[in-house]
Each structure stands twice: as C-alpha cells, then as structure tokens.
C-alpha cells in the first residue's frame, strides 16, 4: 500500500518524540514503523496472532535426502494435534492458537476433527526425475494458503511447516529463483552425517540439472516445491490485502517468502524475518531477500518455532508506539 508523505512524517515524529534518545530502541523502532505502515495507522494493534502449520510429504524423500524416514511427517502431524511439539509449547506460551493443515501428507487421510484436511495429493512427485507437482496442484496450494491467511481477525500470522525432505525442496527453489548454484543452499537438514550430506548434494545437483539455471517463481515452485511451501507462499500473498504481518520462520519459510516476494514485490513490507537458522544456506537466502532477521538462536527446527519466539517483539513494538509517553505528555525535557 502507498502511504502519504504526511503519514510518514507523523509516524517519524511520533517515534522520535518518545521519552528516549533518538533511535535508542533500535530495531524495535523500525518494527513499530513497519507495523504502522502495514496497518495504515499511527495507533496499530498487535494483539491477535495465529500459527498456521502446513504439512505435506515430498517424493524426493525416497532418495534418502533426510536423516528421518518419510513416515515422520504423519507422526509429527499427530504430535502437533496432541499439542506435544515445540511449536505447540511456544504457541501456548505466546497465547496463540494453532491451526494444523494437511496439504498432502502421504498415506490415507488423517481422520481427526482438529485437523484442517485440505489434501492436494498424497505428497509431491520425486523432483529428481520430473516436476514435483502439476501447475494445477501448485495453484491449488497457493490458493489454499491465500484463503487461510485471510481468515479471522488476526493482526499477524506465524507460518510453520512439516515435511520430511523439505530442506531439499527449499534449496532447489532458492537456487532456481536466484540463479545461484544449488550447492550454496544445501545443508544437513534434519542432521545428516558427512556421507548423507554428500549423497544429498549429488541428488540435488542431479535434480537441478533437469531444468534451466533460472526459472520463474511459478515454474520453480511446480518443478521443485512442496505443497506446504506453496501454501506458505500463498498465505504470504494473502496477508498483503488483509493488512497482516507475517513472521517468516527459517530456511523453508524463507524459500516460500522468496517465491512470494518475487511474484509480488510490494509484499516485502508485510514480512518480518524472525530468525537466522543454523541450516546451511539460510544466510544466503536471507541475503537474496535483503532481510536482517530479529533473532539468531541457532535454531534449525522449522514448525514456525522461531516465528513464535519473535511474536513478543511485534507486540512490544506496537505497545511502544501506543503506550510509551512522549516528551510532551510526560513533561520531560527533550534533547538540548
């Protein structure tokens, strides 16, 4: 959205007029300004958030690109529904509801009323040998994310994912959209040893060689993405018209963000990059996005865990803008 010069001047004056030296609250000031711009208000709200956790399987997992078997995706979905994962714990601490979405977990449908069952297919095809999904499936996943991002009265969304093999999909997406070699985005994922990492690198190099060095985001997503990654990208695209911020989690959510902002560059203002993952390649992905994350905690879990840990910073930034006294209101002398 385009804001007037008068709005920007009033926003700057409001932040600079708080009882503090100019710029003393650092990134919190920039975050407060971002929230105000997205909502188009000098008194923005940041009280209601939601974690949407998208789960899907990847055909490439059959190649042995993960230290864990593909069945773990389904097992972790059940764990999310039972409230036992790190994302559940952090969401409870933050007071945020959790929506678990089956975009395409392999095997029979999971019959649980707590699950949002929106299966696009029983996992993607093996992207080493051909496209991961059809264009129609890719569009369906994007549309699913857009729809869910616009539900409810939330000011911000935390987006998480679960899908064995999805660091491979994220690495290939990052490489094909940026045009950089895939090797720079390949990491240990769920904890591969040296032999496993070498195997993963060889498989991803072979998968990358199937297509041109650089693809459009839509082409890259269909060739190499996952249903959960496409749904996250769609959710980011849906957050823009709803004037919602998105807390972007780690490497896989970052790949979804790269898709989204390449499709719609104006969306960048809605994205807050929560943390720098310990996953090899995330730093390169953040650099491609021109993003400086809020936290650096050595996380490499996914699930939206880092996004949830950054949620209190959004609340604090909005509260600063709305509740902190000005020099005038507090009768405090300003700088000489």
Q: Which residues are known catalytic residues?
A: 303
Distance CA(227)–CA(230), nearest Å, equals: 5
Do 56 and 118 form a contact (C-beta atoms < 8 A)?
no
Cβ atoms of residues 286 and 261 within 8 Å: no
Percent helix, strand and coil across the chain, each rounded to 5?
50, 10, 40
Q: In DSSP terms, which residues pair with 100 in a beta bridge?
A: 53
Asked whether the beta carbons of 63 and 304 are under 8 A apart, the reply is: no
Which stretches does DSSP call E strand in the chain?
A: 49-56, 98-104, 116-117, 156-162, 245-248, 271-273
Assign 193 to helix, strand or coil.
coil
Report the b/e string of 23-47 with b at 16+ CB within 10 A.
eebeebbebbbbbbbbbeeeebebe
């Amino acid at each position: 959205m385009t804001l007037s010069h008068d709005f920007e001047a009033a926003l700057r004056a409001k932040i600079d007029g708080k009882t503090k030296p100019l710029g003393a609250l650092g990134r919190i000031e920039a975050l407060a300004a971002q929230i105000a711009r997205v909502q188009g208000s000098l008194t923005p709200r940041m009280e209601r958030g939601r974690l949407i956790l998208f789960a899907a399987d990847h055909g490439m997992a059959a190649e042995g690109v993960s230290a864990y078997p593909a069945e773990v995706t389904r097992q972790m979905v059940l764990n999310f529904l039972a409230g036992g994962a790190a994302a559940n714990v952090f969401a409870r601490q933050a007071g945020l509801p959790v929506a678990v979405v089956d975009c395409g977990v392999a095997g029979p449908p999971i019959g649980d009323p707590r699950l949002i069952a929106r299966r696009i297919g029983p996992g993607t095809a093996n992207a080493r040998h051909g496209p991961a999904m059809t264009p129609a499936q890719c569009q369906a996943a994007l549309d699913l994310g857009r729809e869910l991002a616009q539900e409810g009265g939330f000011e911000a969304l935390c987006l998480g994912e679960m899908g064995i093999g999805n660091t491979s999909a994220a690495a290939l997406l990052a490489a094909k959209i940026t045009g950089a070699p895939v090797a720079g985005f390949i990491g240990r994922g769920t904890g591969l040893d040296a032999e496993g990492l070498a195997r993963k690198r060889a498989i991803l190099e072979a998968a990358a060689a199937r297509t041109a060095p650089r693809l459009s985001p839509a082409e890259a997503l269909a060739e190499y993405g996952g249903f959960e990654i496409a749904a996250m990208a769609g959710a980011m695209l849906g957050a823009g018209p709803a004037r919602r911020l998105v807390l972007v989690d780690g490497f896989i959510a970052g790949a979804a963000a790269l898709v989204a902002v390449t499709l719609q560059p104006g969306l960048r203002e809605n994205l807050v990059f929560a943390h720098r993952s310990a996953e090899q390649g995330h730093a390169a992905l953040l650099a491609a996005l021109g993003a400086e994350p809020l936290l650096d905690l050595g996380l490499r879990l996914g699930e939206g865990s880092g996004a949830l840990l950054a949620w209190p910073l959004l609340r604090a930034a909005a509260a600063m803008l709305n509740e902190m006294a000005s020099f005038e209101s507090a009768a405090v002398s300003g700088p000489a």
